[in-house]
Structure 1
Amino acid sequence: MTDREALLVELVDERGARVGALPVAQAHTAPGRLHRAFSVLLFDDDGRLLLQQRAGVKTRFPLLWSNTCCGHPLPGQDVTEAAATRLAEELGVTAELREVGIYRYQAADPGTGLVEDEWDHVLVGRFRGVPRPDPDEVADYTWRWAAELADAITVDRAQYTPWLAGVLAVAADAVSRP
């Protein structure tokens, strides 16, 4: 099994231009370093969103509910290609993805002391079928309506990853389509 914390991430400046590379673990050590990431939102034919509960062994925000999949492309790697690979690894799912925007955010995990400082490419796609999650990556999954999810995040933010609301907002056009 690959030590994901040792893989390199692409450092970026405030405009998203590449400025270097660091291992994942170093980029997420406080105060954090701005780096490229991706968040995938998959919808079924009815317009429901596939959410995952992050596995308990995750180094950042374990057991919180989050978007379908997220991760980091390797330096120079195509973001859509990296997202498709990670989607297959985490959930056993394939889908055609398209990028709909960028969500720039910072968040500290009070449980681990690690931080997120990410230039997050938001990708959406359609999926029909049953996910086959890797238990080392995903504790559980569910399908939710985007509007219902946005309300749930407002009521109990502590159950969700800190980037989920922003990723949903970036993908609002895609979310509103069935």
Structure 2
Amino acid sequence: MTEKLADPSTDRETMLVELVDESGVAIGACSVADAHRPPGRLHRAFSVLLFDAHGHVLLQQRAAIKTRFPLQWANTCCGHPLPGQSVAEAAAIRLREEFGMTAALTKVGVFTYLAGDEKTGRVEHEYDHVLIGVVGDGPPRPDPAEIAHWAWLPPQEVRADVAQNSGKFTPWLPQVLEIADQAHRG
């Protein structure tokens, strides 16, 4: 089975995101670039965390070309639904684009965060929906334009590494991991 990878000609910065209020109600739209300019505009996002049969989580090191938090380790994949698009649909598409994988995804929580990237000057201010899935033994097929490296790791090892080396991880990963791992063990 061949999965379509992300179209490198697509400028994700021009795509639209859905602006939301503090309770997640849609209030408008703007481009990805505009949403991530300081001070940041609160918008809908999603974070996917996949588990394998052993309870390990699939992390990715974001590609060097990412406009926010490049080369930092993050959850399996993340992104933004288009205005009016379901979070689950957008997450499934992004999982195929970034990792060439499919999984039944379940929404397990939501949180809001605000974080600035000192290296790029961009800001993440997201109303982040967390989704989890369980996959079999098939290897990921990452798109190198999206993912520099990837690894299956036990959640407790990730927590310990974040505590010791927080700068190598995206600022949203700890909260995504907590929500996802609690739901998975649930």
Q: 1:130 to 1:139 in 2, by over 3 A?
A: same
* Structure 2 partner of 1:8: 16
Deviating 4+ runs (over 6 angstroms): none
Match of 1:46 among 54, 61, 72: 54
Q: Which blocks of at least 5 consecutive residues in structure 1 are unaligned?
A: none
Match of residue 5 from structure 2: none
**Counterpart position of 2:131:** 123
**Residue 103 of structure 1, CA deviation:** 1.7
Matching residue within 147, 158, 161 for 1:152? 161
RMSD: 0.9
Distance 1:124 1:115 in 2: 25
Partner residue in 1 for 2:172? 163
User: TM-score, normalising length from structure 2?
Assistant: 0.93
Question: In the alignment, what sits opposite 2:45?
Answer: 37
- Verify the 8 A CA contact 1:35 1:117 in the aligned structure 2: yes
CA distance in 2 between partners of 1:63 and 1:172 (Å): 23
- Matches of 1:175 and 1:167, distance apart in 2: 12
Counting aligned pairs with the same residue, the percent is 58
Whether the 8 Å CA contact 1:103–1:170 is kept in 2: the answer is no
Residue matched to 2:107 = 99
User: Once the 2 structures are TM-superposed, how far is the Cα of residue 148 of structure 1 from its aligned partner?
Assistant: 1.2
Q: Matches of 1:6 and 1:82 in 2, distance apart? A: 16
8 A contact 1:87–1:93 mirrored in 2: yes
* Shift, 1:168, TM fit: 1.1
1:84 partner amino acid: A
Shift of 1:115: 0.3
Name the counterpart of 2:3.
none
Structure 2 residue ranges without an equivalent (≥5): 1-8
Q: Give distance in 1, aligned partners of 2:181 and 2:103.
A: 19
Cα distance in structure 2, aligned partners of 1:32 and 1:70: 17
Aligned length: 177
CA–CA separation in structure 1 for the residues paired with 2:22 and 2:70: 27
> Structure 1's 152 and 175: CA in aligned 2 closer, same or farther, altered over 3 A?
farther
Q: Deviations over 1:38-85 (max 9, x none)?
A: 000000001000000000000000000000000000000000000000
Task: Return the TM-score normalized by structure 1.
Answer: 0.97
SS at match of 2:106: strand
What is the aligned counterpart of 2:148 among 126, 134, 139? 139
